[in-house]
């Protein structure tokens, strides 16, 4: 399903900091937690190729070349396609879901977010390495709706609505906020190709025409959208600052993202054009 047999698993594990252990990974809950947390810690959420007007490929080799070998980041379709291939290669049962973003108020949004459901010992777990700075660091259990899950300094829960719709919620400054909702319908890689086309080319897509780079840190969570850098603290405090000429320095210091020379020059050109 996810072309895990085509993935260079050793290179992927090295990229996320799990290489060189010499042990065989088993498809158990401990491995799922370790891989998910390592992936979200190592690979930054970013949609810069959309800003550059470049095609975003989702086949395994394209995602591997970009996120693993070139050490770039990616957005949800790339991140979770890579994670799905790795988990499948290890031996997990992985299926896709399509989610509606609920962070933008009460408006009904289209299904544009890709998430994964991984089954371990008969129990389903939500896995998502691609929701940016508010996304989970680790798998979230789906078999016990309403249960609060602590991940470092951050807390999540999943609540159930009608027709089997599940909603991932995030506690922010003492207030629960919906992140996204998804139905039991299974999505396949070909479905993500269609969603990716909309998100990377449609003029109404949130990713068109602006810088978006984010990371869900253990303590401080960071989001760069346009020219504003946001740092979110576990107590709900927000720090905001405008990013000017030091854009590349911010990407390096705040997100661990170092672009190749061509990409860096293109990003600086676009950034300066907005002055």
Q: Quick: pLDDT tens for 147-191.
A: 999 999 999 999 999 899 999 999 998 899 999 999 999 999 999
Task: List, in sequence order, every residue forming a beta bridge with 178; answer none if it has no partner.
Answer: 169
DSSP track, 73-86 = -B-HHHHHHHHHHH
Average pLDDT over residues 113-139: 98
Average pLDDT over residues 31-58: 98
Residue 21 has pLDDT above 80, yes or no: no
What residues act catalytically?
Answer: 76, 113, 128
Q: Quick: pLDDT tens for 245-271.
A: 999 999 999 999 999 999 999 999 999
Residue 258 DSSP label: -
Average pLDDT over residues 83-100: 98
Residue 125 has pLDDT above 80, yes or no: yes
Closest CA to 177 of 167, 188, 164, 186: 167
Residue 22 has pLDDT above 80, yes or no: no
CA torsion angle for 218, 4, 206, 38 (degrees, to 10)? 10
Residue 98 has pLDDT above 80, yes or no: yes
Q: How much is the pLDDT for 182?
A: 98
Percent of the chain with pLDDT over 90: 92
Tokens of 200: 């990377």
Tokens of 167: 């909603």
Residue 28 has pLDDT above 70, yes or no: yes
User: How many other CB atoms sit within 10 Å of the CB of residue 47?
Assistant: 25
Tokens of 202: 């449609």
Closest CA to 151 of 221, 98, 96: 221
Average pLDDT over residues 34-60: 98
Average pLDDT over residues 70-91: 98
């Amino acid at each position: 399903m996810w072309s895990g047999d085509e993935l260079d698993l050793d290179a992927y594990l090295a990229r996320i900091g799990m290489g060189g252990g010499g042990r065989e990974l088993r498809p158990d809950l401990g491995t799922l937690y370790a891989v998910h947390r390592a992936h979200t810690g190592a690979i930054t959420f970013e949609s810069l190729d959309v800003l550059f007007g470049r095609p975003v490929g989702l086949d395994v080799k394209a995602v591997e070349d970009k996120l693993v070998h070139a050490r770039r980041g990616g957005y949800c379709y790339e991140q979770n396609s890579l994670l799905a291939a790795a988990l499948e290669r290890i031996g997990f049962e992985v299926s896709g879901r399509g989610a509606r973003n609920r962070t933008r108020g009460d408006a009904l949004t289209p299904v544009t977010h890709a998430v994964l459901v991984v089954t371990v010992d008969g129990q389903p777990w939500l896995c998502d390495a691609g929701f940016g700075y508010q996304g989970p660091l680790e798998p979230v259990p789906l078999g016990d709706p309403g249960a609060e899950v602590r991940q470092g300094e951050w807390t999540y829960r999943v609540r159930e609505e009608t027709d089997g719709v599940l909603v991932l919620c995030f506690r922010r400054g003492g207030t629960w906020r919906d992140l996204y909702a998804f139905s039991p319908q299974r999505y396949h890689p070909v479905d993500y190709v269609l969603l990716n086309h909309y998100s990377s080319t449609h003029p109404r897509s949130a990713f068109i025409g602006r810088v978006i780079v984010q990371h869900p840190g253990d303590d401080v969570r960071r989001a760069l959208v346009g020219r504003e850098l946001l740092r979110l603290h576990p107590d709900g405090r927000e720090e905001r600052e405008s990013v000017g000429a030091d854009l590349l320095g911010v990407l390096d210091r705040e997100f661990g993202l170092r672009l190749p020379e061509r990409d860096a020059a293109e990003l600086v050109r676009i950034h300066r054009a907005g002055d």
